[in-house]
Amino acid sequence: MRRENTAAPLIPGRCTLPELKRAAAACRACPLWERGIQTVFGEGSLDSRLILVGEQPGDYEDRQGLPFVGPAGRVLDQALAQAGIDRSAAYVTNVVKHFKWVSQGRRRLHTKPNAREIGACMPWLDAEIELIRPRVLVALGSTAAQALFGKQVLVTRDHGRPLPSDRAPYAIATSHPSAILRTETDEQRQQAMEGLVEDLRIVADLVRKP
């Protein structure tokens, strides 16, 4: 993708995290700015050793302007707590910063971002990663995993094991918390949650590693 068709020209040089966030608020590098209420930038401290990256904000996140604050965010909070990770010590963000949705009656239903939208938005994520320089980079779900680690990565096969990345010393893919919400039975839900927690325990070990 040509640089000028992405958010890259909008990234301020030598900026702080709040300055980066302010610049992203005005982004119109892809058509999604028209659909979402606002840019939902990442949240967390510059000192975070861990970055968690999801696909895109959902309905709640779009309304509140914060990542992972809806039902999937609550699942993530539970899984992090069970894995012994303090969410406030992590930086949480998404590959795509605007909510892509279609209407169904009064509901706004999530639609997967396409390659053009992901490519256009990646410079924001790369700028966040560059500023924070995390020890561990975690992709939640296949959109984030493939955007960060390549199309060859399959979360179902590659979750929970270190993946090569030049963005951080350790990189891991795991399932997106919303996948747990989509399970049909309590048993499937429990199993999916256990899988996510197991992967996040590996992440916790990597974060604590001296």
Residue closer to ligand SF4 by CB (options 55, 199) is 55
Smallest distance, ligand SF4 to C-beta of residue 44, A: 18
Helix (H) or strand (E) holding 76: helix 71-83
Contacts (Cβ under 8 Å, ≥6 apart) of 81: 87
**Do the beta carbons of residue 74 and residue 60 sit within 8 Å?**
no
Smallest distance, ligand SF4 to C-beta of residue 101, A: 12
Indicate the residue type of 123: P
**How deeply is 75 buried, as exposed, middle or buried, from its count of CB atoms within 10 A (0-12, 13-18, 19+)?**
buried
Residue closer to ligand SF4 by CB (options 38, 183) is 38
Residue closer to ligand SF4 by CB (options 43, 158) is 43
Smallest distance, ligand SF4 to C-beta of residue 28, A: 5
In the block, residue with structure tokens 């990256």: 53
Other Cβ atoms closer than 10 A to 3: 9
Q: Give residues in contact with ligand SF4 (CB under 6 A).
A: 7, 24, 27-30, 32-33, 39, 96-98, 117, 120-121, 124
Smallest distance, ligand SF4 to C-beta of residue 195, A: 29
Residue closer to ligand SF4 by CB (options 33, 60) is 33
